[in-house]
Structure 1
Amino acid sequence: MLIGMMCALGAAVCFGTASVLQAVATRAAEPGTGSGVDAALFLRAVRQWRYLAGLGLDASGFVLQIVALRHVPIYAVGAALAASLAVTAVVAARLLRVRLSRTEWGAVGVVCAGLLMLGLAAGEEGAKSGPLALKLGLLGVAVLVLLVGAVAGRLPDGPRALVLGLGSGTGFGVVEVAVRLLDSVLDLRNPALYALLLGGGAAFLLLTSALARGSVTAATAGMVLGETIGPAVVGVAWLGDRTREGLTWLAVTGFVVAVAGALALARFGEPDTAPSGPAAPSGPASPSSPSGV
Protein backbone atom coordinates (compact mmCIF):
# COMPACT_ATOMS: atom_id res chain seq x y z
CA MET A 1 0.00 0.00 0.00
CA LEU A 2 2.75 2.48 0.97
CA ILE A 3 4.72 1.67 -2.18
CA GLY A 4 1.63 2.23 -4.31
CA MET A 5 0.82 5.64 -2.82
CA MET A 6 4.45 6.76 -3.08
CA CYS A 7 4.51 5.77 -6.75
CA ALA A 8 1.19 7.57 -7.36
CA LEU A 9 2.57 10.74 -5.79
CA GLY A 10 5.80 10.36 -7.77
CA ALA A 11 3.74 10.10 -10.95
CA ALA A 12 1.88 13.29 -9.95
CA VAL A 13 5.19 15.13 -9.56
CA CYS A 14 6.33 13.96 -13.01
CA PHE A 15 3.05 14.82 -14.74
CA GLY A 16 2.68 18.17 -12.97
CA THR A 17 6.15 19.32 -13.95
CA ALA A 18 5.72 18.03 -17.50
CA SER A 19 2.51 20.00 -18.00
CA VAL A 20 4.29 23.32 -17.42
CA LEU A 21 7.08 22.47 -19.86
CA GLN A 22 4.67 21.18 -22.50
CA ALA A 23 2.29 24.12 -22.20
CA VAL A 24 5.15 26.57 -22.81
CA ALA A 25 6.51 24.54 -25.73
CA THR A 26 3.11 24.05 -27.36
CA ARG A 27 2.28 27.76 -27.24
CA ALA A 28 5.67 28.52 -28.83
CA ALA A 29 5.07 26.13 -31.75
CA GLU A 30 3.58 27.31 -35.03
CA PRO A 31 -0.24 27.26 -35.05
CA GLY A 32 -1.80 24.00 -36.15
CA THR A 33 -4.75 23.28 -38.40
CA GLY A 34 -7.25 23.94 -35.61
CA SER A 35 -8.29 20.30 -35.50
CA GLY A 36 -8.62 18.63 -32.15
CA VAL A 37 -6.60 15.68 -33.50
CA ASP A 38 -3.61 17.49 -34.99
CA ALA A 39 -0.59 15.20 -35.36
CA ALA A 40 1.32 17.92 -37.24
CA LEU A 41 1.09 20.26 -34.25
CA PHE A 42 2.44 17.50 -32.03
CA LEU A 43 5.38 16.97 -34.40
CA ARG A 44 6.18 20.70 -34.35
CA ALA A 45 5.96 20.89 -30.58
CA VAL A 46 8.13 17.82 -30.08
CA ARG A 47 11.05 19.58 -31.79
CA GLN A 48 11.44 21.79 -28.74
CA TRP A 49 13.55 20.64 -25.82
CA ARG A 50 10.92 21.60 -23.25
CA TYR A 51 8.35 19.36 -24.86
CA LEU A 52 10.85 16.50 -25.09
CA ALA A 53 11.76 16.96 -21.43
CA GLY A 54 8.05 16.89 -20.63
CA LEU A 55 7.63 13.65 -22.58
CA GLY A 56 10.52 12.13 -20.62
CA LEU A 57 8.81 13.07 -17.37
CA ASP A 58 5.52 11.70 -18.73
CA ALA A 59 7.21 8.38 -19.50
CA SER A 60 8.64 8.20 -15.98
CA GLY A 61 5.27 9.13 -14.53
CA PHE A 62 3.56 6.44 -16.59
CA VAL A 63 5.87 3.75 -15.22
CA LEU A 64 5.20 4.93 -11.66
CA GLN A 65 1.47 5.02 -12.45
CA ILE A 66 1.52 1.38 -13.58
CA VAL A 67 3.24 0.33 -10.36
CA ALA A 68 0.74 2.33 -8.32
CA LEU A 69 -2.25 0.79 -10.11
CA ARG A 70 -0.92 -2.66 -9.20
CA HIS A 71 -0.93 -1.82 -5.48
CA VAL A 72 -3.75 0.63 -4.69
CA PRO A 73 -7.31 1.18 -5.97
CA ILE A 74 -7.91 3.24 -9.10
CA TYR A 75 -9.75 5.95 -7.17
CA ALA A 76 -6.66 6.62 -5.03
CA VAL A 77 -4.35 6.74 -8.04
CA GLY A 78 -6.77 8.98 -9.95
CA ALA A 79 -6.97 11.50 -7.12
CA ALA A 80 -3.18 11.50 -6.79
CA LEU A 81 -2.81 12.19 -10.50
CA ALA A 82 -5.32 15.03 -10.24
CA ALA A 83 -3.07 16.42 -7.53
CA SER A 84 -0.43 16.91 -10.21
CA LEU A 85 -2.07 20.33 -10.63
CA ALA A 86 -0.77 21.25 -7.18
CA VAL A 87 2.69 20.30 -8.43
CA THR A 88 2.07 22.34 -11.57
CA ALA A 89 1.16 25.38 -9.44
CA VAL A 90 4.35 25.14 -7.39
CA VAL A 91 6.53 24.56 -10.48
CA ALA A 92 4.83 27.46 -12.31
CA ALA A 93 5.54 29.67 -9.32
CA ARG A 94 9.24 28.77 -9.55
CA LEU A 95 9.89 28.52 -13.29
CA LEU A 96 7.38 31.02 -14.66
CA ARG A 97 7.46 33.44 -11.74
CA VAL A 98 3.72 33.12 -11.24
CA ARG A 99 2.65 34.42 -7.84
CA LEU A 100 0.35 32.14 -5.83
CA SER A 101 -2.19 33.89 -3.65
CA ARG A 102 -2.95 32.75 -0.12
CA THR A 103 -6.13 31.14 -1.42
CA GLU A 104 -4.16 29.14 -3.98
CA TRP A 105 -1.60 28.03 -1.42
CA GLY A 106 -4.61 26.99 0.64
CA ALA A 107 -5.86 24.93 -2.32
CA VAL A 108 -2.49 23.17 -2.46
CA GLY A 109 -2.93 22.34 1.22
CA VAL A 110 -6.48 21.10 0.55
CA VAL A 111 -5.18 18.73 -2.13
CA CYS A 112 -2.56 17.36 0.26
CA ALA A 113 -5.20 16.90 2.99
CA GLY A 114 -7.46 15.03 0.57
CA LEU A 115 -4.63 12.72 -0.44
CA LEU A 116 -3.79 12.08 3.20
CA MET A 117 -7.40 11.04 3.85
CA LEU A 118 -7.34 8.77 0.82
CA GLY A 119 -4.07 7.19 1.91
CA LEU A 120 -5.51 6.40 5.33
CA ALA A 121 -8.79 5.01 3.97
CA ALA A 122 -7.76 3.18 0.80
CA GLY A 123 -7.85 -0.60 0.93
CA GLU A 124 -6.12 -3.11 -1.30
CA GLU A 125 -6.74 -3.03 -5.04
CA GLY A 126 -9.58 -5.23 -6.27
CA ALA A 127 -8.74 -8.76 -7.39
CA LYS A 128 -11.31 -8.90 -10.19
CA SER A 129 -10.00 -9.05 -13.75
CA GLY A 130 -13.04 -7.51 -15.42
CA PRO A 131 -15.40 -9.12 -17.97
CA LEU A 132 -14.74 -9.17 -21.71
CA ALA A 133 -17.57 -6.68 -22.19
CA LEU A 134 -15.68 -4.14 -20.06
CA LYS A 135 -12.53 -4.59 -22.14
CA LEU A 136 -14.43 -4.15 -25.40
CA GLY A 137 -16.28 -1.17 -23.95
CA LEU A 138 -12.96 0.39 -22.97
CA LEU A 139 -11.75 0.04 -26.56
CA GLY A 140 -14.96 1.65 -27.77
CA VAL A 141 -14.42 4.61 -25.42
CA ALA A 142 -10.88 5.04 -26.79
CA VAL A 143 -12.26 5.23 -30.35
CA LEU A 144 -14.91 7.69 -29.16
CA VAL A 145 -12.20 9.93 -27.70
CA LEU A 146 -10.64 10.26 -31.16
CA LEU A 147 -14.00 11.05 -32.75
CA VAL A 148 -14.78 13.66 -30.09
CA GLY A 149 -11.39 15.26 -30.71
CA ALA A 150 -12.05 15.53 -34.43
CA VAL A 151 -15.44 17.17 -33.84
CA ALA A 152 -14.26 19.45 -31.01
CA GLY A 153 -11.64 21.02 -33.28
CA ARG A 154 -14.47 22.85 -35.07
CA LEU A 155 -15.90 24.45 -31.93
CA PRO A 156 -15.22 28.03 -30.74
CA ASP A 157 -12.14 28.38 -28.53
CA GLY A 158 -14.02 28.39 -25.18
CA PRO A 159 -15.98 25.13 -25.46
CA ARG A 160 -13.25 23.67 -27.68
CA ALA A 161 -10.69 23.73 -24.87
CA LEU A 162 -13.10 22.25 -22.33
CA VAL A 163 -14.26 19.43 -24.63
CA LEU A 164 -10.71 18.60 -25.73
CA GLY A 165 -9.56 18.58 -22.11
CA LEU A 166 -12.44 16.32 -21.09
CA GLY A 167 -11.68 14.02 -24.02
CA SER A 168 -8.01 13.97 -23.12
CA GLY A 169 -8.80 13.13 -19.49
CA THR A 170 -11.12 10.35 -20.64
CA GLY A 171 -8.29 8.95 -22.75
CA PHE A 172 -5.94 8.98 -19.76
CA GLY A 173 -8.71 7.36 -17.72
CA VAL A 174 -8.90 4.58 -20.31
CA VAL A 175 -5.19 4.01 -19.74
CA GLU A 176 -5.71 3.76 -15.96
CA VAL A 177 -8.41 1.11 -16.29
CA ALA A 178 -6.64 -0.76 -19.11
CA VAL A 179 -3.53 -1.25 -16.95
CA ARG A 180 -5.68 -3.12 -14.42
CA LEU A 181 -7.25 -5.28 -17.15
CA LEU A 182 -3.92 -6.43 -18.59
CA ASP A 183 -2.25 -9.57 -17.31
CA SER A 184 0.59 -9.12 -19.79
CA VAL A 185 1.54 -6.49 -22.37
CA LEU A 186 2.26 -9.40 -24.71
CA ASP A 187 -1.35 -10.60 -24.69
CA LEU A 188 -2.30 -9.45 -28.19
CA ARG A 189 -5.78 -10.97 -27.85
CA ASN A 190 -6.74 -8.66 -24.99
CA PRO A 191 -8.78 -5.65 -26.23
CA ALA A 192 -7.51 -3.69 -23.20
CA LEU A 193 -4.05 -3.55 -24.77
CA TYR A 194 -5.36 -1.75 -27.84
CA ALA A 195 -7.55 0.45 -25.67
CA LEU A 196 -4.44 1.49 -23.71
CA LEU A 197 -2.46 2.34 -26.86
CA LEU A 198 -5.31 4.12 -28.63
CA GLY A 199 -6.58 5.92 -25.53
CA GLY A 200 -3.14 7.13 -24.49
CA GLY A 201 -2.22 8.29 -28.00
CA ALA A 202 -5.53 10.10 -28.47
CA ALA A 203 -5.21 11.75 -25.05
CA PHE A 204 -1.81 13.21 -25.93
CA LEU A 205 -3.03 14.55 -29.28
CA LEU A 206 -6.12 16.15 -27.76
CA LEU A 207 -4.20 17.66 -24.85
CA THR A 208 -1.58 19.12 -27.20
CA SER A 209 -4.31 20.76 -29.28
CA ALA A 210 -6.09 22.03 -26.16
CA LEU A 211 -2.89 23.63 -24.84
CA ALA A 212 -2.20 25.34 -28.17
CA ARG A 213 -5.36 27.47 -28.30
CA GLY A 214 -8.15 28.52 -26.00
CA SER A 215 -8.34 28.40 -22.23
CA VAL A 216 -5.80 25.97 -20.81
CA THR A 217 -7.56 26.40 -17.47
CA ALA A 218 -10.75 24.97 -18.94
CA ALA A 219 -8.81 22.21 -20.70
CA THR A 220 -6.99 21.23 -17.52
CA ALA A 221 -10.18 21.21 -15.45
CA GLY A 222 -11.86 19.00 -18.05
CA MET A 223 -8.87 16.67 -18.03
CA VAL A 224 -8.97 16.31 -14.24
CA LEU A 225 -12.67 15.40 -14.31
CA GLY A 226 -12.22 12.96 -17.18
CA GLU A 227 -9.31 11.05 -15.66
CA THR A 228 -10.68 10.72 -12.11
CA ILE A 229 -14.44 10.17 -11.88
CA GLY A 230 -15.01 7.54 -14.58
CA PRO A 231 -12.06 5.27 -13.68
CA ALA A 232 -12.95 5.49 -9.96
CA VAL A 233 -16.49 4.29 -10.67
CA VAL A 234 -15.22 1.44 -12.87
CA GLY A 235 -12.74 0.36 -10.20
CA VAL A 236 -15.40 0.16 -7.49
CA ALA A 237 -18.24 -1.23 -9.63
CA TRP A 238 -16.39 -3.80 -11.75
CA LEU A 239 -12.89 -4.41 -10.40
CA GLY A 240 -13.59 -4.83 -6.70
CA ASP A 241 -11.74 -1.78 -5.33
CA ARG A 242 -12.67 -1.20 -1.68
CA THR A 243 -11.73 0.91 1.31
CA ARG A 244 -10.57 -0.08 4.78
CA GLU A 245 -13.31 -1.39 7.05
CA GLY A 246 -15.58 1.45 8.13
CA LEU A 247 -13.59 4.15 6.32
CA THR A 248 -15.60 4.49 3.11
CA TRP A 249 -16.77 7.94 4.23
CA LEU A 250 -13.17 9.07 4.67
CA ALA A 251 -12.18 7.79 1.23
CA VAL A 252 -15.12 9.54 -0.44
CA THR A 253 -14.37 12.77 1.44
CA GLY A 254 -10.69 12.58 0.56
CA PHE A 255 -11.43 11.95 -3.11
CA VAL A 256 -13.85 14.88 -3.35
CA VAL A 257 -11.53 17.21 -1.42
CA ALA A 258 -8.46 16.30 -3.52
CA VAL A 259 -10.29 16.72 -6.85
CA ALA A 260 -11.96 19.97 -5.74
CA GLY A 261 -8.61 21.39 -4.66
CA ALA A 262 -7.07 20.34 -7.99
CA LEU A 263 -9.86 22.06 -9.93
CA ALA A 264 -9.24 25.23 -7.93
CA LEU A 265 -5.67 25.15 -9.27
CA ALA A 266 -6.62 24.40 -12.88
CA ARG A 267 -5.23 27.69 -14.16
CA PHE A 268 -1.69 26.50 -13.49
CA GLY A 269 -1.73 24.44 -16.66
CA GLU A 270 -1.47 27.92 -18.19
CA PRO A 271 1.93 29.27 -19.24
CA ASP A 272 2.80 32.88 -18.46
CA THR A 273 2.77 34.65 -21.82
CA ALA A 274 4.17 37.92 -20.48
CA PRO A 275 7.51 38.90 -22.02
CA SER A 276 10.59 37.99 -20.05
CA GLY A 277 13.01 40.57 -18.79
CA PRO A 278 13.41 43.01 -15.93
CA ALA A 279 10.38 45.03 -16.98
CA ALA A 280 8.06 42.05 -17.14
CA PRO A 281 5.65 41.99 -14.19
CA SER A 282 5.52 38.90 -12.07
CA GLY A 283 2.23 37.24 -11.43
CA PRO A 284 -0.48 35.36 -13.33
CA ALA A 285 -1.09 35.80 -17.05
CA SER A 286 -3.18 38.87 -17.81
CA PRO A 287 -6.77 38.50 -19.04
CA SER A 288 -5.68 39.88 -22.42
CA SER A 289 -3.26 37.03 -23.03
CA PRO A 290 -4.01 34.51 -25.82
CA SER A 291 -4.97 31.96 -23.19
CA GLY A 292 -8.48 33.24 -22.98
CA VAL A 293 -8.42 33.13 -19.17
Structure 2
Amino acid sequence: MISVLFAVLTAISNGSASVLQRRAASTVPDAEAMHLSLIRHLLRKKVWLAGIGLVVVAAVCQAVALATGPIAVVQPIFVIELPATLLIASCAFRVRLSRSAWRGVASVTCGLALGMAAAAPGGGSESVPGYRWIPALIVTGVFEAALIIWSRRLRGNARAALLGLAAACGYALTAALMKDAVSRLDNGGGVLALVSAWQLYGMAVAGVGALFLLQNALQAGSLVASQPMLTLGDALISITYGVTLFGESLRSGWWLLPELIGVALIAAGCVELARSPLMTGAKPPPPRVR
Protein backbone atom coordinates (compact mmCIF):
# COMPACT_ATOMS: atom_id res chain seq x y z
CA MET A 1 0.00 0.00 0.00
CA ILE A 2 2.86 2.40 0.73
CA SER A 3 4.29 1.96 -2.76
CA VAL A 4 0.88 2.60 -4.36
CA LEU A 5 0.29 5.72 -2.24
CA PHE A 6 3.64 7.26 -3.13
CA ALA A 7 3.22 6.26 -6.78
CA VAL A 8 -0.05 8.22 -6.85
CA LEU A 9 1.67 11.23 -5.25
CA THR A 10 4.42 10.96 -7.86
CA ALA A 11 1.88 10.90 -10.67
CA ILE A 12 0.10 14.01 -9.39
CA SER A 13 3.38 15.92 -9.04
CA ASN A 14 4.67 14.85 -12.46
CA GLY A 15 1.42 15.68 -14.22
CA SER A 16 1.29 19.15 -12.73
CA ALA A 17 4.95 19.70 -13.62
CA SER A 18 4.34 18.74 -17.26
CA VAL A 19 1.61 21.35 -17.63
CA LEU A 20 3.74 24.11 -16.09
CA GLN A 21 6.74 23.15 -18.21
CA ARG A 22 4.63 23.02 -21.36
CA ARG A 23 3.41 26.58 -20.75
CA ALA A 24 6.99 27.79 -20.43
CA ALA A 25 8.51 25.71 -23.25
CA SER A 26 5.84 26.71 -25.78
CA THR A 27 7.21 30.28 -25.75
CA VAL A 28 10.75 29.23 -26.74
CA PRO A 29 11.78 30.00 -30.37
CA ASP A 30 12.35 27.02 -32.68
CA ALA A 31 15.97 28.14 -33.19
CA GLU A 32 16.78 27.11 -29.61
CA ALA A 33 15.54 23.52 -30.00
CA MET A 34 18.09 20.83 -28.99
CA HIS A 35 20.48 23.53 -27.69
CA LEU A 36 21.53 24.36 -24.13
CA SER A 37 20.16 27.86 -24.74
CA LEU A 38 16.72 26.28 -24.37
CA ILE A 39 17.42 25.60 -20.70
CA ARG A 40 18.89 29.09 -20.18
CA HIS A 41 15.71 30.56 -21.64
CA LEU A 42 13.50 28.45 -19.38
CA LEU A 43 15.49 29.26 -16.24
CA ARG A 44 14.22 32.84 -16.51
CA LYS A 45 10.60 31.71 -16.27
CA LYS A 46 9.01 31.29 -12.82
CA VAL A 47 6.37 28.90 -14.11
CA TRP A 48 9.09 26.54 -15.37
CA LEU A 49 10.96 26.73 -12.06
CA ALA A 50 7.72 25.84 -10.26
CA GLY A 51 7.45 22.82 -12.52
CA ILE A 52 11.01 21.79 -11.65
CA GLY A 53 10.13 22.07 -7.96
CA LEU A 54 7.32 19.58 -8.50
CA VAL A 55 9.74 17.32 -10.36
CA VAL A 56 11.92 17.23 -7.24
CA VAL A 57 8.91 16.36 -5.07
CA ALA A 58 7.98 13.63 -7.54
CA ALA A 59 11.51 12.20 -7.46
CA VAL A 60 11.41 11.82 -3.66
CA CYS A 61 7.98 10.17 -3.77
CA GLN A 62 9.11 7.89 -6.60
CA ALA A 63 12.17 6.76 -4.64
CA VAL A 64 9.96 5.75 -1.71
CA ALA A 65 7.52 3.96 -4.03
CA LEU A 66 10.26 2.01 -5.80
CA ALA A 67 11.95 1.11 -2.51
CA THR A 68 8.73 -0.48 -1.26
CA GLY A 69 7.25 -2.07 -4.39
CA PRO A 70 8.02 -3.73 -7.75
CA ILE A 71 8.83 -1.40 -10.64
CA ALA A 72 6.18 -3.14 -12.78
CA VAL A 73 3.57 -2.06 -10.21
CA VAL A 74 4.82 1.44 -9.40
CA GLN A 75 5.58 2.86 -12.85
CA PRO A 76 2.27 1.98 -14.61
CA ILE A 77 0.36 3.84 -11.88
CA PHE A 78 1.93 7.03 -13.20
CA VAL A 79 -0.52 7.02 -16.12
CA ILE A 80 -3.07 8.60 -13.78
CA GLU A 81 -1.05 11.83 -13.76
CA LEU A 82 -3.13 13.32 -16.58
CA PRO A 83 -6.63 12.74 -15.14
CA ALA A 84 -5.48 13.62 -11.61
CA THR A 85 -3.90 16.88 -12.73
CA LEU A 86 -6.91 17.80 -14.84
CA LEU A 87 -9.30 17.24 -11.95
CA ILE A 88 -7.15 19.31 -9.59
CA ALA A 89 -6.85 22.12 -12.14
CA SER A 90 -10.60 22.17 -12.75
CA CYS A 91 -11.23 22.60 -9.01
CA ALA A 92 -8.50 25.19 -8.54
CA PHE A 93 -9.64 27.35 -11.46
CA ARG A 94 -13.36 26.57 -11.06
CA VAL A 95 -13.67 25.33 -14.63
CA ARG A 96 -16.19 22.62 -15.46
CA LEU A 97 -14.74 19.70 -17.37
CA SER A 98 -16.27 18.89 -20.72
CA ARG A 99 -17.89 15.55 -21.43
CA SER A 100 -14.93 14.55 -23.58
CA ALA A 101 -12.57 15.26 -20.67
CA TRP A 102 -14.65 13.11 -18.35
CA ARG A 103 -14.58 10.36 -20.98
CA GLY A 104 -10.79 10.67 -20.99
CA VAL A 105 -10.65 10.40 -17.20
CA ALA A 106 -12.85 7.30 -17.27
CA SER A 107 -10.87 5.76 -20.13
CA VAL A 108 -7.50 6.14 -18.40
CA THR A 109 -8.81 4.96 -15.04
CA CYS A 110 -10.60 1.91 -16.45
CA GLY A 111 -7.66 1.10 -18.71
CA LEU A 112 -5.22 1.16 -15.81
CA ALA A 113 -7.50 -0.96 -13.62
CA LEU A 114 -8.06 -3.51 -16.40
CA GLY A 115 -4.39 -3.66 -17.41
CA MET A 116 -3.09 -4.04 -13.86
CA ALA A 117 -5.72 -6.64 -12.93
CA ALA A 118 -4.95 -8.67 -16.04
CA ALA A 119 -1.15 -8.42 -15.82
CA ALA A 120 -0.97 -8.91 -12.01
CA PRO A 121 2.67 -7.76 -11.85
CA GLY A 122 4.75 -8.81 -8.89
CA GLY A 123 7.70 -10.75 -7.56
CA GLY A 124 11.27 -10.07 -8.59
CA SER A 125 14.38 -8.96 -6.74
CA GLU A 126 15.24 -5.61 -5.19
CA SER A 127 18.63 -5.27 -6.92
CA VAL A 128 20.29 -6.16 -10.22
CA PRO A 129 23.68 -7.86 -10.72
CA GLY A 130 26.09 -5.39 -12.33
CA TYR A 131 26.77 -7.49 -15.44
CA ARG A 132 23.05 -7.51 -16.36
CA TRP A 133 23.11 -3.74 -16.76
CA ILE A 134 25.57 -3.87 -19.67
CA PRO A 135 23.21 -5.17 -22.41
CA ALA A 136 20.34 -3.11 -20.99
CA LEU A 137 22.33 0.13 -21.22
CA ILE A 138 23.56 -0.69 -24.73
CA VAL A 139 20.06 -1.41 -26.05
CA THR A 140 18.67 1.68 -24.32
CA GLY A 141 21.43 3.88 -25.77
CA VAL A 142 20.87 2.62 -29.30
CA PHE A 143 17.10 3.05 -29.01
CA GLU A 144 17.43 6.59 -27.66
CA ALA A 145 19.94 7.57 -30.36
CA ALA A 146 17.68 6.23 -33.11
CA LEU A 147 14.69 8.22 -31.81
CA ILE A 148 16.69 11.45 -31.52
CA ILE A 149 18.23 11.11 -35.00
CA TRP A 150 14.82 10.33 -36.49
CA SER A 151 13.22 13.29 -34.71
CA ARG A 152 15.78 15.68 -36.20
CA ARG A 153 14.34 14.93 -39.63
CA LEU A 154 10.80 15.86 -38.59
CA ARG A 155 8.91 18.90 -37.38
CA GLY A 156 5.90 19.70 -35.21
CA ASN A 157 3.89 16.97 -33.51
CA ALA A 158 5.82 14.14 -35.19
CA ARG A 159 9.05 15.38 -33.60
CA ALA A 160 7.25 15.94 -30.28
CA ALA A 161 5.99 12.34 -30.28
CA LEU A 162 9.42 10.83 -30.93
CA LEU A 163 11.15 13.05 -28.38
CA GLY A 164 8.35 12.26 -25.90
CA LEU A 165 9.08 8.56 -26.34
CA ALA A 166 12.82 9.21 -25.98
CA ALA A 167 12.14 11.12 -22.76
CA ALA A 168 9.94 8.25 -21.55
CA CYS A 169 12.79 5.81 -22.14
CA GLY A 170 15.10 8.06 -20.14
CA TYR A 171 12.64 8.32 -17.25
CA ALA A 172 12.08 4.55 -17.26
CA LEU A 173 15.84 3.99 -17.10
CA THR A 174 16.05 6.54 -14.29
CA ALA A 175 13.42 4.61 -12.33
CA ALA A 176 15.20 1.29 -12.83
CA LEU A 177 18.54 2.74 -11.71
CA MET A 178 16.83 4.46 -8.77
CA LYS A 179 15.30 1.19 -7.56
CA ASP A 180 18.63 -0.59 -7.84
CA ALA A 181 20.42 2.26 -6.02
CA VAL A 182 18.01 2.56 -3.07
CA SER A 183 18.17 -1.21 -2.56
CA ARG A 184 21.66 -0.59 -1.14
CA LEU A 185 20.02 1.05 1.86
CA ASP A 186 17.87 -2.01 2.60
CA ASN A 187 20.79 -4.42 2.16
CA GLY A 188 22.54 -3.05 5.23
CA GLY A 189 25.11 -0.93 3.41
CA GLY A 190 23.62 2.34 4.58
CA VAL A 191 24.21 5.75 3.06
CA LEU A 192 27.85 4.95 2.25
CA ALA A 193 26.81 2.05 0.03
CA LEU A 194 24.27 4.28 -1.68
CA VAL A 195 26.66 7.14 -2.49
CA SER A 196 29.32 4.69 -3.71
CA ALA A 197 26.94 2.93 -6.13
CA TRP A 198 27.38 3.87 -9.80
CA GLN A 199 23.62 3.46 -10.25
CA LEU A 200 23.02 6.64 -8.24
CA TYR A 201 25.11 8.74 -10.62
CA GLY A 202 23.79 6.92 -13.66
CA MET A 203 20.30 7.79 -12.42
CA ALA A 204 21.26 11.47 -12.23
CA VAL A 205 22.65 11.47 -15.78
CA ALA A 206 19.64 9.61 -17.17
CA GLY A 207 17.24 11.92 -15.33
CA VAL A 208 18.88 15.12 -16.60
CA GLY A 209 18.97 13.71 -20.14
CA ALA A 210 15.30 12.74 -19.95
CA LEU A 211 14.39 16.20 -18.65
CA PHE A 212 16.26 17.83 -21.55
CA LEU A 213 14.47 15.60 -24.08
CA LEU A 214 11.11 16.35 -22.48
CA GLN A 215 11.63 20.11 -22.75
CA ASN A 216 12.39 19.69 -26.45
CA ALA A 217 9.35 17.48 -26.92
CA LEU A 218 7.12 20.08 -25.26
CA GLN A 219 8.69 22.84 -27.35
CA ALA A 220 8.32 20.93 -30.63
CA GLY A 221 4.59 20.27 -30.55
CA SER A 222 1.41 19.93 -28.54
CA LEU A 223 0.72 17.84 -25.46
CA VAL A 224 -1.57 15.67 -27.59
CA ALA A 225 1.54 14.44 -29.40
CA SER A 226 4.08 14.22 -26.58
CA GLN A 227 2.11 13.33 -23.44
CA PRO A 228 0.62 9.98 -24.54
CA MET A 229 4.03 8.83 -25.76
CA LEU A 230 5.62 9.99 -22.51
CA THR A 231 2.98 8.44 -20.26
CA LEU A 232 2.55 5.10 -22.01
CA GLY A 233 6.18 4.83 -23.01
CA ASP A 234 7.37 5.28 -19.44
CA ALA A 235 4.95 2.62 -18.15
CA LEU A 236 5.66 0.01 -20.84
CA ILE A 237 9.44 0.46 -20.90
CA SER A 238 9.54 0.36 -17.09
CA ILE A 239 7.63 -2.92 -17.14
CA THR A 240 10.21 -4.24 -19.62
CA TYR A 241 13.02 -3.27 -17.24
CA GLY A 242 11.13 -4.86 -14.34
CA VAL A 243 10.76 -8.17 -16.16
CA THR A 244 14.20 -8.36 -17.82
CA LEU A 245 16.36 -6.86 -15.07
CA PHE A 246 14.56 -7.44 -11.78
CA GLY A 247 12.89 -10.74 -12.70
CA GLU A 248 9.34 -9.49 -12.06
CA SER A 249 6.46 -11.49 -13.50
CA LEU A 250 3.40 -10.71 -15.62
CA ARG A 251 0.53 -12.89 -16.72
CA SER A 252 0.72 -14.08 -20.33
CA GLY A 253 -1.42 -16.25 -22.60
CA TRP A 254 -5.00 -15.09 -23.04
CA TRP A 255 -4.39 -12.42 -20.40
CA LEU A 256 -2.60 -10.48 -23.11
CA LEU A 257 -5.96 -9.56 -24.66
CA PRO A 258 -7.33 -7.59 -21.67
CA GLU A 259 -3.85 -6.15 -21.12
CA LEU A 260 -3.81 -4.76 -24.68
CA ILE A 261 -7.36 -3.46 -24.29
CA GLY A 262 -6.23 -1.67 -21.13
CA VAL A 263 -3.29 -0.08 -22.99
CA ALA A 264 -5.61 1.03 -25.80
CA LEU A 265 -8.03 2.62 -23.32
CA ILE A 266 -5.18 4.46 -21.60
CA ALA A 267 -3.83 5.74 -24.92
CA ALA A 268 -7.25 6.97 -26.05
CA GLY A 269 -7.84 8.64 -22.70
CA CYS A 270 -4.44 10.36 -22.73
CA VAL A 271 -5.09 11.82 -26.17
CA GLU A 272 -8.50 13.10 -25.10
CA LEU A 273 -7.18 14.64 -21.89
CA ALA A 274 -4.17 16.24 -23.56
CA ARG A 275 -6.56 18.22 -25.77
CA SER A 276 -8.19 19.90 -22.79
CA PRO A 277 -7.59 23.67 -22.47
CA LEU A 278 -6.55 23.08 -18.87
CA MET A 279 -3.67 20.90 -20.07
CA THR A 280 -2.56 23.06 -22.99
CA GLY A 281 -2.74 26.32 -21.11
CA ALA A 282 -5.34 27.76 -23.47
CA LYS A 283 -8.28 29.72 -22.15
CA PRO A 284 -11.21 27.36 -21.64
CA PRO A 285 -14.41 28.15 -23.51
CA PRO A 286 -17.20 29.87 -21.54
CA PRO A 287 -19.95 27.61 -20.22
CA ARG A 288 -23.10 27.33 -22.33
CA VAL A 289 -26.13 29.23 -21.17
CA ARG A 290 -29.20 27.02 -21.02
The TM-score with structure 1 as length reference comes to 0.77
Q: Note if contact 2:107-2:266 (Cα within 8 Å) is conserved in structure 1.
A: no
Q: Match for 1:152: what amino acid?
A: S
**Aligned mates of 1:123, 1:147 — CA distance in 2:** 30
Q: In the alignment, which of 221, 225, 228 is matched to residue 221 of structure 1?
A: 228
Structure 1 unaligned regions, length at least 5: 275-279, 284-293
Q: Note if contact 1:114-1:257 (Cα within 8 Å) is conserved in structure 2.
A: yes
Cα deviation, residue 147, structure 1: 6.8
* Aligned match of 1:287: none
Structure 2 unaligned regions, length at least 5: 185-192
Residues 213-252 of structure 1 show CA distances to partners (whole Å, capped at 9, x for unaligned) of: 32321111111232111210221233132479xxx78994
Cα deviation, residue 48, structure 1: 1.4
* Aligned match of 2:77: 80
Q: In the alignment, which of 132, 135, 143 is matched to residue 134 of structure 1?
A: 132
1:102 and 2:99 correspond: yes
1:272 and 2:287 correspond: no
1:64 and 2:64 correspond: no
Residues 59-118 of structure 1 show CA distances to partners (whole Å, capped at 9, x for unaligned) of: 111111111112222222222112111123224545677753323213313433455564
Q: Note if contact 2:110-2:262 (Cα within 8 Å) is conserved in structure 1.
A: no
Cα deviation, residue 15, structure 1: 0.8
Report sequence identity in percent: 30
**Structural mapping, 1:145-164, within 5 Å:** 145=144, 148-149=147-148, 152-164=151-163
Change over 3 Å in CA distance of 1:273–1:193 after alignment to 2: same
**Aligned mates of 2:272, 2:246 — CA distance in 1:** 30
Change over 3 Å in CA distance of 1:52–1:74 after alignment to 2: same
Tell me the number of residue pairs that the alignment of Structure 1 and Structure 2 aligns. 270
RMSD of the alignment, in Å? 3.3
Q: Note if contact 1:148-1:167 (Cα within 8 Å) is conserved in structure 2.
A: yes
The TM-score with structure 2 as length reference comes to 0.78
Change over 3 Å in CA distance of 1:96–1:171 after alignment to 2: farther
* Aligned match of 1:14: 13
Residues 150-205 of structure 1 show CA distances to partners (whole Å, capped at 9, x for unaligned) of: 652442213111111110111111111112222354134x3x33432222111111
Cα deviation, residue 120, structure 1: 10
Query: Which has the larger displacement, 111-120 or 156-165?
Result: 111-120
1:204 and 2:201 correspond: no
Query: Which has the larger displacement, 235-244 or 170-179?
Result: 235-244
**Aligned mates of 1:48, 1:19 — CA distance in 2:** 14
